[in-house]
Amino acid sequence: MRSYAVLTELAGKLVVSCQADAGMPLDGESYMLALARSVLLGGAAGVRIQGIHNVRAVRAAVSVPIIGLVKASQPDSPVYITSRVQEVEALADAGADIIAFDATDRPRPETVPALCQAIHARGLAAMADISTLAEAEAALGAGAEVVGTTLAGYTDHSRQLDGPDYALMQDLAKRALPFVAEGRIWTPEEAQRAFETGAQFVVVGSAITRPDVITRRFIDHLNQSPQAKS
C-alpha cells in the first residue's frame, strides 16, 4: 500500500484519465487497460481510472500511481463521483493509490469528512474534485490532501467556460492551496500554463483518450468553415 508520498511522485508530471462512457465502443476492462498502457508508453506518470473492475485490471498490469473513482448516478443527489464510503472501500481493495471524490457544495449521500476519513483509514490520499474556491477550502479543511479543478464549470454555481478555469487556479495558488489542474485541458500549451499557475500535476483526459470526442471537435470546427459541405 502506498503512502501519501504518491502525490510527491506525481509532482510536475502529466496524469492521463482513461475513461469511456457506458455503452461506448471503448467501454470495457481490456480497452481501459490498453489505453492505460498506451499513455504510459507515451510518458504519462500516472492514470485516472473510473470503475472498480477497470481499476483492478489496470492495477494488475502497471505499477504507476492510479487515481481511482466511481461514477454512479444517485436518485436524490447530483453528486456522482465516489459519493459513498462503500465505493471508497471497493476502490481501495481494487488497488487505487489516490481516491478522487466529488466535494462540491451540493446535496450529497455522504459528507466530505466521512469520505476523507474512509480514504485515510486505508492509508490512501484523498483528491477532492471541486468547482469553486470555497469548496476547495472546505475540502482541504475536511482532510483532503489535494483538490482538483475537475468540476469547475460542471456545477450551476461555478464559472461556465469553454476552457480550463485559470482564474480558479490562480485563486488556489494565491492561497497556497494544493491543487491539481483537470478539466477541459486540450493542448500542451494549456497544460503548461496550468503548471505555471501552480498546479502540482495536471490531468488530461478527453484530449488524449476519447477518440469520439476528439473527432467531434474536428467535425464541429470544420462544419463552421466556409468550405464545409452542407
pLDDT tier at 229, thresholds 50, 70, 90: low
Position 115 scores a pLDDT of: 98
Architecture, CATH, for domain 6-223? Alpha-Beta Barrel (3.20)
Say whether pLDDT at 132 is over 70.
Answer: yes
Count CB atoms within 10 A of the CB of residue 137. Answer: 16
Single-letter amino acid code for the residue at 134: A
Position 220 scores a pLDDT of: 94
pLDDT tier at 1, thresholds 50, 70, 90: very low
Say whether pLDDT at 65 is over 60.
Answer: yes
pTM of the predicted structure, to 2 decimals:
0.96
- pLDDT tens digits for range 39-52: 999 999 999 999 99
Say whether pLDDT at 230 is over 70.
Answer: no
Position 190 scores a pLDDT of: 98
In sequence order, the β-bridge partners of residue 68 are 49, 99
**Residues 6 or more apart in contact with residue 140 via CB below 8 angstroms:** 128, 147, 177, 178
26-41 b/e (C-beta count within 10 Å ≥ 16 → b): beeeebbbebbeebbe
- pLDDT tens digits for range 141-185: 999 999 999 999 999 999 999 999 999 999 999 999 999 999 999
Give burial (CB, 10 Å; 0-12/13-18/19+) of 215. Answer: exposed
pLDDT tier at 7, thresholds 50, 70, 90: very high
Say whether pLDDT at 100 is over 60.
Answer: yes
Say whether pLDDT at 228 is over 80.
Answer: no
